[in-house]
Chains A and B, each alone.
Chain A
């Protein structure tokens, strides 16, 4: 009976159902992505299998080593990318996974960049010397702040080692976000990157009320903005009949008669993406969340989320809506200008280091948008700095300096945890010349002073915008850089030439992981400023997005 059924079934199914072909996956192409998902899964197994005493160390080794392995795979994938023969601009790679992802030059470079950021941030996650042998994350997040349970968790030396797998999932989501070639893949990636970050924001060991509040604000606003993104995707689907970016491009270039629907789709998608990059007017969450989240998480978010979201935004705008660029470019021009202005001006009045860095990140989002809204895809020889390559370079230098700066924030602390008020940072130069000097280098890089990486980054985005004819933006951008330079330099003056208040800043002894991160970030910031050639060439050779 059973035998008869099973022999009859395949035939019956084949006759009744449509012919479904197995998806054709190129595992080499996707190997870095698979590796990061595997790291997250291994992290979950470690939670179950490894005894509590050894778990934190195991998790941190798995996370850091895993992202370095994935970085190696990324290099391997990049070297294997084929040049695209046709197309107006030089490009590498191609689409994969049945058109759901586009593993191309800019996408793979973004993978590499995200993995570098992740490896550095995971080192900060792994730091345990600042809290007397415990990590920066609360032992048992379910306990209310100040409750007996919380005290017990601290006494028992409990730790949430789940932060590593959570961060690995967020990283995997970011990597998928940067290469998705399909709006629904992009939406799923957006949520895979956001959901773990919402949780990570809420698990700080110190100042838990602020941390929980940051998690709730980020969650509610993030969910709100992703709903806008999704409605935009639905309208784009309604306009073109497909969710695939390439096919949307075909429909957009043909220009049907339903222009209002197209404009609404672009607008709503932009709301979701601009929220993720923290551009004005969708920036209001940034200072609160950056301040409230545990500082290692802030470093990870500030560097990596912004990189993934900018690349995804460029992919949507350049690939799917390239045919409508005259419709979205004016919007981005306005966004770029107000983002630079608000970020630079409001940062001046901040009294908290983390909030100041948050507003500085908003200003940087504005500068990056300048490069993007030039929408300059290159000249015939493929030699000029394009919007894509300049934004890639800027994101790299901004991200590395940001992680370094937040790493220093984790070290300046007193008995109540990190001291982020500006007055506590006065006179840091006398207390710890290494930390103050490193912070000064990051500030100079943010300000775009020559011989630091930030200068080359600013030069690249401005030159891309100039190439795209957005010279008004370039002029305004230079003016905003001057405003921004004011508060960066003021901070350096505060650290080196201001008398300390009271006992002066208290500096914890930075543990090995944090010291490594700060040192690497300083070296990268200086080296990229003095010899930017190799990395700039790399970004240049990555070419355009593959359609």
Chain B
């Protein structure tokens, strides 16, 4: 049990750190997906621990939502890429105080 949770926390942290340090929008987005999937691991591990299905059902919901999020995210990133020929989040700096 603890092993699964540790792994899930580790993956979640890797994802979170990736979002913060990586500069390519696609990679940042992949890191977010990694965080969601780390959460799925936690959900199914807890479902096993508690012996009910809520966690497994939740994992399915998360997968569907993540798929929807991918389509929206890629659409936005592609539209930016077509304009600027780059997906670096550092170059998106027109909006400033």
Contact = CB atoms under 8 A, between A and B. Distances in A.
Given A195-B69, A230-B39, A216 B55 contact: no
A162 interface: no
B7 interface: no
B45 to A, nearest CB: 8
A410 to B, nearest CB: 19
A7 interface: no
Contact of B79 (A142, A217, A234, A238): A142
Contacts of A213: 80, 92, 94-95
Size category of the binding interface on chain B: 35 or more
B10 interface: no
A158 interface: no
Interface in B18-54: 19, 25, 28-29, 32, 35-36, 38-39, 42-43, 45-46, 49-50, 52, 54
Given A187-B62, A195-B69, A216-B76, A144 B83 contact: yes
Given A227-B35, A227-B39, A230-B36, A217 B95 contact: yes
A231 B35 contact: yes
A509 interface: no
Contacts of B69: 191, 195, 223
A231 B38 CA distance: 8
A231 B41 CA distance: 10
Contact of A184 (B57, B73, B77): B57
B58 A220 contact: no
Contact residues on A (Cβ < 8 Å of other chain), bracket: 35 or more
Q: Summarize B's interface: helix, strand, loop or mixed.
A: helix
Interface stretch (A50-58, A59-67, A284-292, A497-505): A284-292
Contact of A223 (B29, B61, B75): B29
A51 to B, nearest CB: 26
A258 to B, nearest CB: 12
B15 A216 contact: no
A230 to B, nearest CB: 5
B19 to A, nearest CB: 5
A237 B19 contact: no
B89 A220 contact: yes
A141 interface: yes
A234 B46 contact: yes
B11 to A, nearest CB: 11
A349 B32 CA distance: 34
Contact of A198 (B42, B43, B76, B89): B76
A506 interface: no
Contact of A227 (B15, B61, B76, B84): B15
Given A231-B35, A350-B97, A215 B76 contact: yes
A520 interface: no
A153 B28 CA distance: 32
Contacts of A144: 79, 82-83
A243 interface: yes
A382 to B, nearest CB: 35
A234 B95 contact: no
B89 A231 contact: no
A245 B5 CA distance: 23
B97 A355 contact: yes
Nearest to A199: B72
Contacts of B61: 184, 187-188
Interface in A40-57: none
Given A212-B79, A224-B19, 5 more contacts: A145-B83, A198-B73, A202-B76, A233-B39, A237-B55
Interface of B: 5, 12, 15-16, 19, 25, 28-29, 32, 35-36, 38-39, 42-43, 45-46, 49-50, 52, 54-55, 57-58, 61-62, 65, 68-69, 72-73, 75-77, 79-80, 82-84, 89, 92, 94-95, 97
14 contacts: A144-B82, A187-B62, A188-B61, A195-B69, A198-B72, A210-B94, A219-B72, A227-B12, A231-B38, A231-B42, A233-B39, A234-B46, A242-B54, A243-B54
